[in-house]
Amino acid sequence: MEQVDLLVVGGGKAGKSLAMAQAKKGWKVAMVERQYVGGTCINVACIPTKSLVASARRMADTRSDATFGVEGTEGAKINLNALRAHKEGVVGGMVAAHEKMFAAPGLDFIRGEAKFTGPKTIEVTLNDGGVREITGDKVLVNLGARPSMPSIPGLKEAGAWTSEDILRLETIPESLAIIGGGYIGVEFSQTMAEFGSKVTLIASGEHVLPREDADIAQQVEAGLLDSGVTIKYGVRAVSVSGKTGEASDSVSIELSDGSTVSASAVLVAAGRVPNTDGIGLDKAGIDLDDRGMIVVDDQMRTSAPDVWAAGDSAGTPMFTHASWHDFRIIRAQFNGENSECTSKAGRLIPYTVFTMPELARIGLSEDEARAQGLDIKVAKIPANAIPRAKTMRIQHGMWKAIVEASTGKILGATLVGPESGEVITALQVAIASGMTYQQLRFLPIAHPTMGEGLNILFDQLD
């Protein structure tokens, strides 16, 4: 039995960050990863998808180049080999960098599948053969999540793609049906439409992005329609027949309203589920909730002594930056740091949806604030009210902020428009520091920038 100071099961954002940090502190660390060097994000999620989004945005720009006085880009088309090389080059570079970092002194990076055999103890079946038994004084479980595959008759037999499968980019399908109108579904629908697929997005709600306010979702929908996406609202897929990729319109999807959608491929974008099954967490004394998530307290501690959990499998919002915050909470405990990151209670986690126009959000939506019975004021402007947006001839988008009526404190904001993911950080800082909307309203922000829209947005409240 091998003994280490820190045993990390899963090399995602929190796991790899903690393993490297504690190895630098002189700890003896073992980190086990069964599949992806560097975790899901850089291999089959954030990084490869945003690499494709970058290509899709360039393709979309060619449609309006003539408006800006640029000619000669008409008829632009996708080169699949070059597209794949771009994506794989970005991912490969980051994987190689991680392999180098994982070779650091004190860190034993182990490729294999771990299963708990008892408290703080695992058995690892190595990818290259053999078995190792390891126990740790402290343990971090960072198992990640995988695409959810709903139980729709015929879906599995049809060879439906997941959000990870489609990244292999073996072909650009002539037509593509996407089941799911959430964040993953809208991003892929627009990207694949820009690549030349005839895309149908099947959304079960009255609008896409069901967690967002309807007026916000409508701005994203307008962008999808501009890209050629067809949206089916208020319907569910009830059965699937045929086989993905065999021929044009080789898959038929029956919807709950009796209609059908035909496509040459089908993509399931129905969210993600935690990788907590089959690893023996019960033998380690680690409790799960009814969603299969590891139960943790505000310091990321599990029900088992000296065992912490982080990231997607611990109920953390499924964003890399949220998992990174988990890591900082745990590191502060291990090292006795006087840190702002000591608890996940009340933390503000922003997110961005990389559509055209881009959506970014922090804090409460209008619907959420009203559901809580809060007395609020709502500021709202079209994105093209911002001078910088006018220079880009932006057609769709909206900025919206929720303010506590009695204090003027900002409770939340959602931005749909260019560079929203960059501007949202200013609002995150404002909320975290307890700023009022008046402070942002009168702040002299550089002109002409998208950030200047904060002045214009909060001018609407007086």
Mean pLDDT along residues 288-302: 99
What is d(CA 431, CA 433) in angstroms, rounded to the nearest whole number? 5
> Which pTM value belongs to this model?
0.96
Any idea which residue has 């595959």 for tokens?
149
DSSP one-letter code for 295: P
Q: What is the pLDDT of residue 361?
A: 99
Percent of residues, the chain, with pLDDT higher than 70: 100
**19 φ, ψ to 5°?**
-60, -45
C-alpha to C-alpha distances, 228 to 51, 223, 255, nearest whole angstrom: 21, 9, 21
Query: Does residue 315 have a known ligand-binding role?
Result: no
Residue 324 has pLDDT above 80, yes or no: yes
Annotated ligand binding at 320? The verdict is yes
- Answer whether 441's CB lies under 8 Å from 458's CB: yes
Q: At the topology level of CATH, where does 163-270 sit?
A: FAD/NAD(P)-binding domain (3.50.50)
The CATH number of domain 2-145+274-342 is 3.40.140.10: no
233 is in an annotated binding site: no
Q: Is 207 a catalytic residue?
A: no
Predicted confidence (pLDDT) per residue in 128-180, tens digit: 999 999 999 999 999 999 999 999 999 999 999 999 999 998 889 999 999 99
**Strand partners of residue 136:** 4
The total number of residues shown for the chain amounts to 462
Which one, of 238, 237, 264, 235, lies nearest residue 251 by Cα? 264
Q: Do the annotations mark residue 408 as ligand-binding?
A: no
pLDDT at 375: 98
- Contacts of residue 9, Cβ cutoff 8 Å, sequence gap at least 6: 15, 32, 114, 122, 139, 140, 141, 142, 143, 279
**pLDDT tens digits, 224-270:** 999 999 999 999 999 999 998 867 789 999 999 999 999 999 999 99
Distance (Å, whole) CA 326 – CA 321: 9
59 is in an annotated binding site: no
Instruction: Delimit the domains of the chain by residue range.
Output: 2-145+274-342, 163-270, 357-459
Q: State yes or no: 187 annotated in a binding site.
A: yes
* 47 labelled ligand-binding: no
C-beta atoms surrounding 108 within 10 Å: 17
**How many Cβ atoms from other residues are within 10 Å of residue 107's Cβ?**
21
Fold of the CATH domain 357-459:
Enolase-like; domain 1 (3.30.390)
The alpha carbon of residue 444 and the mean position of all alpha carbons in its chain are separated, in whole angstroms, by 33
Residue with tokens 């505000």, as numbered in its chain: 298
Question: Is 271 marked as a binding-site residue?
Answer: yes
Examine domains 2-145+274-342 and 357-459 and report if their fold is the same: no
48-71 b/e (C-beta count within 10 Å ≥ 16 → b): bbbbbbebbbebbebeeeeeeeee
Closest CA to 117 of 284, 307, 303, 294: 284
pLDDT tens string 358-386? 999 999 999 999 999 999 999 999 999 99
Task: Decide if pLDDT at 181 tops 80.
Answer: yes
| Residue tagged active-site, from 86, 98, 207, 447 | 447
Q: What is the chain's mean pLDDT, rounded?
A: 97
Average pLDDT over residues 47-62: 95
